[in-house]
Structure 1
Amino acid sequence: MLKLEGIATFVAIAEAGSISAAARRLSLSKSVVSERLVELERSLGAALFQRTTRKLTLTQDGSAFFDRAARILAEVNEATAEAAERRGTLEGPMRLSAPVTFGRMHLGPALYPFLALHPGISLTLELDDRRVDAAADGFDAVIRHGVVDDSRLVAWPLARSQRVLVASPAYLERHGRPESLDALAAHRAIYYFNRGIADWTFLGEAGPERIRPPAALRVNNGDVMRDAALAGLGVAMLPGFIVGPDIARGHLEVLDVGRQAPEEVIYLAHSEGRRASAKLRALVTFLREAFGDPPYWDAHLNPARQEAKSVPAPVGTIRTRP
């Protein structure tokens, strides 16, 4: 007799690509995951994976079974969620991915009261700066900062995000305060660098303007960028949710070069073919209220620009939810 836990384990292995990755996703030991797979294959009388020393690949039987198993599992999860909604409760597992710095500074503190309000929800939160695949990596949703550029996602904007140029008072005393893009080009830059070209983009009258000052540091972590700016290493372009507290304390100063960086959005996104559960919809509402509009972390950036307005949809062509 087939067991639902065995089907769920098989789907997790197929999506994650290995028993180890599936075990991490399911919060189980590798031995338990392997035992469930063996039991399922024994019940079906067929091998579902071709096993090699390096990877698992679906057999013909496994591929045919996966299509239906994934649909069955999705239907069961939706039916469970709908039953909980009818009882007026939010419960069950939820798995999210979010960037490290935003998750540590803002998402975590907002999630704690949400989980206290809904004790039936069991949340797994993975902080990772890489752009995970929401469907393939088994996440109910991902929280990202920037532009929605994946056609497989439906995005729910949570808050606006303003990026600003900052430098320490000590650095500005030594090197002067740039007041134009030409002057900024002569300064030392601290870049966010993640397998791309390091430069800065500003909104110009005729379109985007890009400059590339010499690099003092390239790094793929916002915390390290902020620390480098605090140490006086150079000028950094960072979102307000990272540098807001340092600006408020006077440890970093905002630079005005006559141009603004394009405004971005912090958003929650789920796979296009997946129905947004009541848990996710409740989380979106809760986070929007917790972050505010304008968001609380931008209060010290430029008060004159903080007039209230609705949260915009992310720039791009991907479908968004209000």
Structure 2
Amino acid sequence: MMKLDGIAAFVATVDEGSISAASRRLGLAKSVVSERLAELERTLGMTLLQRSTRSLALTNAGQMLLPRAQRILRELEEASAELDASSGKLAGPLRVSAPVGFGVLHLGPPIGQFLLDNPDIQMSLELDDSFVDAATGGFDAVLRHGAIGDSRLIARRLAMSRRVLVASPAYLARCGTPTSLADLEGHRGILYANRSGDWRFVTGAGTSVIRPKAALRVNNGLVMRDTALAGLGIALLPTFFTYREIRDGTLVEVDVGWPAEGAELFLTYPRDHGAAAKIRALGDSLRRSFGDPPYWERP
């Protein structure tokens, strides 16, 4: 008979792409995960994963087993979560993904407080600036900055955030201060690489799109902010990255007559998720910590 710990080791290894990463996720030694995988394969009498020094690949048997193994683990977690919720207790694992920059700047104290308030929750927080699919990415919940257009997901609003154009005083003294959307076309932009480099503004006629000359493309908001501080160019960034620098004058908010498209913060998770009670509690805790309006939007 297959053991549950072997199934968990198998799913974690496939999800993470390596035994080393699976061992970190499960909180086990690499040798323990390897032995559990080997025992599962011995029980089934077939190979599930082709191993090499650099990669893992599912065999045909592994491809057949994977969706069933994932469903078994998901149903067990959901059953456990439902029992905990019915007793008023929040407990068990909670896997969350969030963007790197926002996590570094704003998630440490709120997450710490949430776990102090709910000591039986075992949270795993992964910071990643690439797109993470909340429905299939192996996480219970994903924190996102921007619109959510996915019918598979529930999106709980955490906080508002504006996007603002910012530049250093040195850059503006050297290159001039744009005062209109047309002026922006001639300036150097520090652009976010994980989406279109277009800058979108809400005008009286709808949405206007500006395509600045790229001084730098990078997939991290903190690096965008820091290169703007260095005087490289103009950046379009959420206020949660720049509010301190705008207040102390090391960055200047550039007004071109129209606001940039805003984007709110959401906590997203699949519909009918068994950990919904824990996710709702996390969302409520984060909203209390950020405030309404959030502290990065206060005068």
TM > 0.5: yes
Cα distance in 1 for partners of 2:42, 2:223 equals 51
* Structure 1 counterpart of 2:244: 245
* Structure 2 counterpart of 1:12: 12
Q: Give the counterpart letter for 1:284 in structure 2.
A: G
* Structure 2 counterpart of 1:299: 298
* Structure 1 counterpart of 2:130: 130
Alignment deviations for residues 164-223 of structure 1 (CA, whole Å, 9 cap, x no partner): 0112223223333221111222222222223x5423111122322111222222222111
CA positional deviation for 1:36:
0.7
SS, match of residue 263 in structure 1:
coil
Quick check: 1:290 aligned with 2:289? yes
8 A Cα contact 2:77 2:274, kept in partner: no
Q: Give the counterpart letter for 1:55 in structure 2.
A: L
Q: CA RMSD in A?
A: 2.2
CA positional deviation for 1:77:
1.1
CA positional deviation for 1:4:
1.9
* Structure 1 counterpart of 2:213: 214
8 A Cα contact 1:15 1:136, kept in partner: no
* Structure 2 counterpart of 1:312: none
Give ranges in structure 1 of 5+ residues lacking alignment: 301-322
Q: Give the counterpart letter for 1:259 in structure 2.
A: W
Shifted more, 175-184 versus 281-290: the winner is: 175-184
CA positional deviation for 1:89:
2.2
- In the TM superposition, what are the counterparts of 1:131-146 in structure 2 within 5 Å? 131-134=131-134, 136-146=136-146
- In the TM superposition, what are the counterparts of 1:1-322 in structure 2 within 5 Å? 1-44=1-44, 46-51=45-50, 53=52, 54-60=55-61, 62-134=62-134, 136-194=136-194, 196-272=195-271, 274-300=273-299
**Aligned pair in 2 of structure 1 residues 33, 184: CA closer, same or farther (>3 Å)?**
same
8 A Cα contact 2:79 2:274, kept in partner: no
Alignment deviations for residues 248-303 of structure 1 (CA, whole Å, 9 cap, x no partner): 11221211111111111211112346334321110011112221222211124xxx
Cα distance in 2 for partners of 1:149, 1:28 equals 37
Question: What TM-score results when the alignment is normalised by the length of structure 2?
Answer: 0.89
SS, match of residue 264 in structure 1:
coil
SS, match of residue 160 in structure 2:
strand
Give ranges in structure 2 of 5+ residues lacking alignment: none
Question: What TM-score results when the alignment is normalised by the length of structure 1?
Answer: 0.83
8 A Cα contact 2:78 2:273, kept in partner: no
Cα distance in 1 for partners of 2:249, 2:12 equals 48
CA positional deviation for 1:2:
3.2
**Aligned pair in 2 of structure 1 residues 17, 48: CA closer, same or farther (>3 Å)?**
farther
Q: Give the counterpart letter for 2:242 in structure 1.
A: V
CA positional deviation for 1:224:
1.4
Q: How many residues align?
A: 297
Q: Give the % identical residues.
A: 54
